[in-house]
Amino acid sequence: MNTTENRIQSILDVPVPKDLGERADMWNIAYEGEIVNSSTALRAIAMVDILESTRTTADLLEQYGHIIPIGYDTDDDKVVYIISQISMKQIATFIGY
């Protein structure tokens, strides 16, 4: 497994709560650095937030779709690839955090 695949798998392995209140609590804990891999947790939360909205997913793919290599066919795969590659600042700016 290469570095990108490891990063993607790490993001997918984070158990992001479905409940928005619990997700917000998790975001705050990660943002404060109280989670060991806080960047990965924040990326996982962002991924779930984006995938919950078809419009936001489409906007992300429109803005960053040019960085996706061949082989990422589903929107879920494309979103997690983009989230794994762009900076936390780019994620925050895109989502409006």
Taking only the tens place, the pLDDT of each residue in 35-94 is: 888 999 999 999 999 999 999 999 999 999 999 999 999 999 999 999 999 999 999 999
* Neighbouring residues of 50: CB distance < 8 A, sequence distance ≥ 6: 56, 57, 60, 79, 83, 95
Q: How many domains does the chain have?
A: 1
Q: Which residue has the tokens 């960047």?
A: 39
Whole-model pTM: value is 0.91
Nearest alpha carbon to residue 27 among 35, 50, 56: 35
> Which segments of the chain are extended strands (E)?
none
DSSP 8-state secondary structure symbol assigned to residue 2: -
